[in-house]
Amino acid sequence: MIAAHPDDAEFQCGGTLAKWARLGAAVHHLVLTDGSKGTWDRTADVAALVARRRDEQVLAAGILGGGSVEFLDQTDGELCADIPTRDRVCEVIRRIQPDVVLGHDPWKRYRLHPDHAAAGRLCVEGIVAARDPWFAPDQLRDGLTPHRPRALLLFEPDAADHAETFEESDLTLKIEALLAHRSQWVTTHLARSGPGTAVDPLERFREREVELAVGAGRWAGASLAEAYHLIDDEL
C-alpha cells in the first residue's frame, strides 16, 4: 500500500487490508510524506506532530492486522512525482516484491490535494521502474532484482471497476484504525463526519464510514466493500 499521508490507507482501503491480513497476507505500508501539515494549530510543534503521526500510523497498521510500516518522509504538501522520489518508490517495490500494490488513482478528476495526485503518479511510475532493469540500475548492482506485481488497485478511483468485499469485523477494525489517528480528529475525521443522526460527532464519523462501506457494497452486490480501479493486464 502506497499512500501520500498517514491515515490515507485507513480511509481508502482499511477494510481491504484488514481482510487480507485476516486471511494471512503480509501487508507493507509505504507512507510518502511526513504528515507535517496535518493540523490547524498555527502554534503547533511540527516535529512533535510528525513523530506523533508516525506512531499513529504504526498503531493503525497494527489494528488492521499488522505488517511493516515505512516512511519516505517527504514534506507534506510538497510531494513531487520527480525521478529521485520515483526511484525511492521503485527501490521499496523491488525490496518488498509485492503481489498486489494499492495506491491513489493519479487520473482522478477534480481532485484538489496535490500530494494525492503526486502519490498516484509515484505509485504507477514506481511500478514501471521496478519491473524494468534499465530504470534505477544502481539498485540492481546492490542486490535487488526487478519486480512486476500481479495487480494494481487504485483507490478513490476516477472510474471504479472492481470491489473488495469484506466482513463486518473488518469494517470494525477499519474504523478503529482510523480513530487511532487521534491527531487528525479535528482536521479530518470530525470535519468529514457531516450531518447524521447521532449527536456525538465521533458517532457520526462512524456512521459515515459504515454508510460508505454499505454504499460500495451495494454497488458490488455485497454487504460491505471498498471500490477500486483494477489494473492487471498491463503490468
Residues 6+ apart with CB under 8 A from 134: none
Q: In the complex with Zn ion, which residue's Cβ is closer, 95 or 113?
A: 113
By C-beta, is 4 or 224 nearer to Zn ion?
4
Q: Which is nearer to Zn ion, 150 or 192 (CB)?
A: 192
Q: Smallest distance, Å, CB 161 to Zn ion? A: 23
Stretch that binds Zn ion, among 7-15, 59-67, 102-110, 122-130 (CB under 5 A): 7-15
CA 71 – CA 134 distance, rounded (Å) = 25
Query: Minimal distance in Å, beta carbon 169 to Zn ion?
Result: 26
CB of 191 to Zn ion, least distance (A): 13
- Which residues have CB under 8 Å from 125's CB, separation 6+? 81, 86, 89
Q: Is 171 exposed, middle or buried (0-12, 13-18, 19+ CB in 10 A)?
A: buried
Q: How many residues bind Zn ion (CB under 5 A)?
A: 3
Residue whose C-alpha is closest to residue 152's, from 122, 175, 177, 178: 122
Residue with cell 487490508: 17
Count of Cβ atoms closer than 10 Å to residue 115 Cβ: 24
Per CB under 5 A, the list member of 4, 81, 124, 129 interacting with Zn ion is 4
φ, ψ for residue 100 (rounded to 5)?
Answer: -130, 140
Minimum Å distance from CB 172 to Zn ion? 23
**DSSP β-bridge partners for residue 48:** none
Coil, strand or helix at 195: coil
To Zn ion, the closest distance from the beta carbon of 22 in angstroms equals 25
Among 1, 2, 6, 8, binds Zn ion (CB under 5 A): 8
Q: Quick one: which of 1, 2, 5, 61 contacts Zn ion (CB under 5 A)?
A: 5
Looking at the Cβ atoms of 8 and 56, the one nearer to Zn ion is 8
Q: Are strands 162-165 and 225-231 parallel, antiparallel or unpaired?
A: antiparallel
User: What grid cell was written down for 142?
Assistant: 546492490
Give residue number: closest CB to Zn ion.
5
Min dist. Cβ of residue 137 to Zn ion (A): 32
Which residue number, 73 or 167, has a Cβ lying nearer to Zn ion? 73
Contacts to Zn ion by CB under 5 A: 4-5, 8
